[in-house]
Structure 1
């Protein structure tokens, strides 16, 4: 039996299907590895409620992240494999079309986990597109290190938004910034100055 399984795993005939199955598995595992510790820490530090509510919140966020990432990988790999098979060649357009469809179906449903994943990716692609523009010669390569300017604009904009257009920011970011910048202006005694926030 083990020999026949190993023969199938080594077969080029089944490789596309096996890659889809392993992609589904890797999406589930990666989603769990990324979300569980994040949900655990954020829940223990910032959420109120019973222990049962906290455990449920951690498990729900972990399941959602893991399931969505696994489904997205399944869709993406299935669609790119299908398009490559139909056209008998690989194309850059296949990646975009497959991810576009998968993104709409899986990550287009609004929930906090999808919002965080989409925002995470947005920041990475904006940064990556700026690098691509330099790489392709659309904009000149900066003479010095652009990272300090990038950081300055990011922080300048986000604090301006927080102070004057707070409702336009994501709720978890509003909470973090309130804790850092507004709650630090409030205390009544040594206890809530050093140990407790309020």
Structure 2
């Protein structure tokens, strides 16, 4: 059996299986802890049905990540074959494979997977993609446009004339400022939407915000009750 693991003939299939396995493990660990906390903190009722929903959510999340891993890796293997795009177009192969995988798993077109979970994962990725895209655009702009900046001595200096440490420090400064404005705008909009039309927010976010912020009508008999002991 060990010979199968070292046989190059089986390597593509083993990589797909391994990727799917990692998706199951990661999705299971992530969703189990999240679903367990949500069910224990924000939901009421008999314990057994709530634990059952935790297991179901864990299974759904793991199946989503595993399915995408299988489809994506299989599509990459096919597309990088010389019959199609070839190895030299590997970045394009991965982009198309990602689109194919998301069409089947995340888009809801086939209604094969839990819509709430695929929605959450896609929104999570979207925020990371936007941040990464902003950094790429900034790097390209600094490299191509070569803007000038004023140093501590008040002298104008081009970006290309900065040393590596200065370039890194400048980009980190821009990243930090961009993040500040992004965070301010994001949370301003979240709190506004929660007050204006909360039903449009994702359910777990809405439940957590209700638990944290809607305390106007809460009453406490003593400090133990206040602190939840």
TM-score range, shorter chain: 0.7 to 0.9
1:143 CA drift (Å): 5.4
Residue of structure 2 aligned with 1:133, choices 115, 129, 137: 137
Q: Verify: 1:153 aligned to 2:157, yes or no.
A: no
Question: CA separation in 2, counterparts of 1:188 and 1:56?
Answer: 32
Q: TM-score, normalised by structure 2?
A: 0.74
Cα contact 2:42–2:211 (8 A) shared by 1? no
More displaced 10-residue stretch of structure 1: 155-164 or 131-140:
131-140
How well do the aligned residues superpose, as a CA RMSD in angstroms? 2.4
Question: CA separation in 1, counterparts of 2:136 and 2:128?
Answer: 12
Residue of structure 2 aligned with 1:59, choices 55, 60, 65: 55
Question: CA separation in 1, counterparts of 2:206 and 2:17?
Answer: 39
1:195 CA drift (Å): 4.7
Q: TM-score, normalised by structure 1?
A: 0.85
1:156 CA drift (Å): 1.4
Residue of structure 1 aligned with 2:8, choices 8, 12, 24: 12
More displaced 10-residue stretch of structure 1: 164-173 or 38-47:
164-173
1:155 CA drift (Å): 1.2
Q: Verify: 1:23 aligned to 2:19, yes or no.
A: yes
Q: Verify: 1:99 aligned to 2:98, yes or no.
A: yes
Cα contact 2:68–2:105 (8 A) shared by 1? yes
**In terms of Rg, which structure is larger?**
2
Q: Which position in structure 1 is the counterpart of 2:128?
A: 124
1:111 CA drift (Å): 2.2
SS across alignment from 1:91: helix
SS across alignment from 2:80: helix
Question: CA separation in 2, counterparts of 1:88 and 1:142?
Answer: 37
Query: Which consecutive residues of structure 2, in runs of 5 or more, have no partner in the other structure?
Result: 109-113, 148-170
Aligned residues: 191
